[in-house]
């Protein structure tokens, strides 16, 4: 079956539960955790040492552990999916991580070193973020926008990355580029305060603000929007999934079963659905179950669909109570 260009030009197609996985990724990225704080402290220690040593190599090494990719994606995906909690959570996680944890770490480290180690001075790497020329600002913003574009393209140009373990390797490389735009200016803010130079801190702060805007909104969110990430596709995935689960629940209401449905959007009008029915005993499905699911999806969403229903024996299915565990919420977060 073939679909015209006009029908397929927007959106990401052919990936199982793609938009739901994006939503999960955004929600997880917006959570402020102790591990996130510890990683920023480690990266801030390295970045501050690299800035005071005037060593680009050490600064780049600090970027390898800076964890700013996930909150940036939460901002972008939360904004496009109109999820205020995720959007605000990601932005606060990003800003507080940079300005509170990163800046504070740089301030404390610099203050301690100035009082205990001779020769701690403002270096060229610090001035690059504190007294940037017009050329420096423009090029730094281009780097931030480019990092944001790369982060979004990784999710859309090869969309199966969202469910593949090797995607973490690509995320790590992109995360380095993102951190280059964010952590050094945040560290310079703290260094400037430790040296009693509010002018250095002020200039680095505004450079950081411009980089965050370029990264999150101009680069990443805009590219996701251009590539077709839309709230309506997330809503469609959930409605199709719910329609399939509701049909199975109605027709097998008297049996100890649980249902998990996976949805693959193929275009603006067509989807593949695989419903996994978890059951405890030998079970024969009604002959019309798949066609009934297809009809329910058409009535609910207007989508044409190919439905496959698969039986999966599950010895523990009888012990799962709806009030204790919801497979739907656990697996899909809906």
Q: What is the pLDDT of residue 329?
A: 40
| pLDDT at position 154 over 90 | no
> Where do the domains of the chain lie, and which CATH numbers do they carry?
31-229 (no CATH), 232-332 (3.30.70.1350)
- Answer for the pair 251, 228: CB distance below 8 angstroms, yes or no: no
DSSP, residue by residue, 186-197: HHHHHHHHHTT-
Q: What is the pTM of this model?
A: 0.84
H or E element that contains 272: strand 270-279
Rounded to whole angstroms, the Cα distance separating 197 from 216 reads: 29
Predicted confidence at residue 3, as pLDDT, reads 42
What's the pLDDT at 176? 79
Q: State both tokens at 14.
A: 């052919």
Identify the pLDDT of residue 259: 84
- Region 283-310: mean pLDDT is 89
Q: Is the pLDDT of residue 326 over 80?
A: no
Q: Is a pLDDT exceeding 90 seen at residue 249?
A: no
Nearest residue to 70 (alpha-carbon basis) of 48, 81, 86, 84: 86
Lowest pLDDT segment from 22-36, 71-85, 171-185, 313-327: 313-327
Query: Which residue has tokens 């909104």?
Result: 217
Asked whether the predicted pLDDT for residue 123 surpasses 60, the reply is: yes
251 or 93, greater pLDDT:
93
| pLDDT > 70? residue 2 | no
Which has more confidence, 22 or 137?
A: 22
Q: Quickly state the pLDDT bin for 314 (edges 50, 70, 90).
A: low
Structure tokens at 149: 């574009």
Predicted confidence band of residue 7 (pLDDT cuts 50, 70, 90):
very low
pLDDT at 331 over 60: no
Contact 184, 253 (CB under 8 A): no
Share of the chain residues as helix, strand and coil, in percent rounded to the nearest 5: 65, 10, 25
The size of the chain, in residues, is: 334
Tell me: pLDDT of 180 over 60. Answer: yes
Task: Decide if pLDDT at 159 tops 90.
Answer: no
pLDDT at 156 > cutoff 60: yes
Stretch 50-66: mean pLDDT: 90
What pLDDT is recorded for position 281?
A: 66
Alpha carbon distance 44, 63 (integer Å): 9
Could you tell me the pLDDT band of residue 175, with boundaries at 50, 70 and 90? confident
The first and second tokens of residue 241, run together, are 């999934």
Q: How far is CA 240 from the centre of its chain?
A: 23
pLDDT greater at residue 259 or residue 95: 95
């Amino acid at each position: 079956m073939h679909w015209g260009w006009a029908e397929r030009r927007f959106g990401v197609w052919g990936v199982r539960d793609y938009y739901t996985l994006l939503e999960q990724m955004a929600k997880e990225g917006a959570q402020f955790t102790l591990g996130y704080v510890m990683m920023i402290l480690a990266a801030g220690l390295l970045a501050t040492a690299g800035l005071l040593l005037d060593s680009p190599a050490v600064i780049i090494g600090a970027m390898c552990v800076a964890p700013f990719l996930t909150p940036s994606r939460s901002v972008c995906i939360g904004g496009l999916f109109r999820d205020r909690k995720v959007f605000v959570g990601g932005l606060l996680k990003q800003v507080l991580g940079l300005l509170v944890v990163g800046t504070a770490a740089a301030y404390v480290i610099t203050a301690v070193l100035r009082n205990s180690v001779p020769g701690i001075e403002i270096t060229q790497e610090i001035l690059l973020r504190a007294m940037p020329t017009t050329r420096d600002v423009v090029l730094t913003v281009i780097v931030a926008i480019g990092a944001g574009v790369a982060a979004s393209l990784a999710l859309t140009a090869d969309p199966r990355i969202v469910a593949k373990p090797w995607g973490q390797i690509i995320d790590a490389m992109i995360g380095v580029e993102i951190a280059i735009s964010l952590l050094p200016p945040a560290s310079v803010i703290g260094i400037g305060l430790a040296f009693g130079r509010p002018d250095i801190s002020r200039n680095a702060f505004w450079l950081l603000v411009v980089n965050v805007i370029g990264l999150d909104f101009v680069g990443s969110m805009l590219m996701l929007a251009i590539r077709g990430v839309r709230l309506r596709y997330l809503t469609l995935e959930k409605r199709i999934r719910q329609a399939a689960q509701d049909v199975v629940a109605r027709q097998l209401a008297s049996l100890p079963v649980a249902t998990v449905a996976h949805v693959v959007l193929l275009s603006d009008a067509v989807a593949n659905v695989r419903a996994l029915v978890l059951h405890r005993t030998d079970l024969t499905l009604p002959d019309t179950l798949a066609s009934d699911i297809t009809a329910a999806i058409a009535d609910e969403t207007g989508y044409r669909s190919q439905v496959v229903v698969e039986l999966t024996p599950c010895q523990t299915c009888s012990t799962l109570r709806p009030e204790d565990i919801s497979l739907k919420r656990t697996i899909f977060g809906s």
